[in-house]
Amino acid sequence: MTFHASEQNRRRRIDTECTVTVRHTEETLEAHVVLDDGLLPAAGDRITVFGDPIRIDYGHTATFKRRARLERGGVLAKLRVRLASFFQLTELYEVSFSDGRL
């Protein structure tokens, strides 16, 4: 694990290993990244995975080991994400599951 910090970049950067699992099936196309050091991203954080592009055939699931950089978000980034997620959640309140009769 390597830590980087600079005056120009207020984000704290942590370099680490990660495990990338990619699934390409009839039901789903998904990718999941797990940081191997047990680090957990929080609101406002950014993860960058390094390495060659991943390609898998249809109907397969594959796991890859890669390098990753976790950039911790500052106070403003965390606040922006929390505020945006609140308003996205309130959009769900607009959906009605009734049959239209009162």
* Structural domain of 8: 2-92
| pLDDT, tens only, 52-87 | 999 999 999 999 999 999 999 888 888 898 888 887
Pull the structure tokens for residue 63.
């796991």
State yes or no: pLDDT of 100 exceeds 90: no
**Residue 65: inside a domain, yes or no?**
yes
Please spell the DSSP secondary structure of 39-56, one letter per residue: ----TT-EEEEESSPP--
**Residue 102: inside a domain, yes or no?**
no
> Over the chain, what is the mean pLDDT?
84
**Residue 34: inside a domain, yes or no?**
yes
**Residue 43: inside a domain, yes or no?**
yes
Q: Whole-angstrom Cα distance, residue 46 to residue 48? A: 7
Output the pLDDT for position 7: 39
Output the pLDDT for position 77: 86
Structure-model confidence comparison of residues 19 and 92, the more confident one: 19
Among the residue ranges 1-15, 20-34, 38-52, 62-76, the one predicted with the least confidence is 1-15
pTM (predicted TM-score): 0.67
Q: Are 70 and 2 in contact (CB under 8 A)?
A: no
Output the pLDDT for position 82: 86
**Residue 20: inside a domain, yes or no?**
yes
**Residue 37: inside a domain, yes or no?**
yes
Structural domain count, the chain = 1
**Residue 100: inside a domain, yes or no?**
no
**Residue 45: inside a domain, yes or no?**
yes
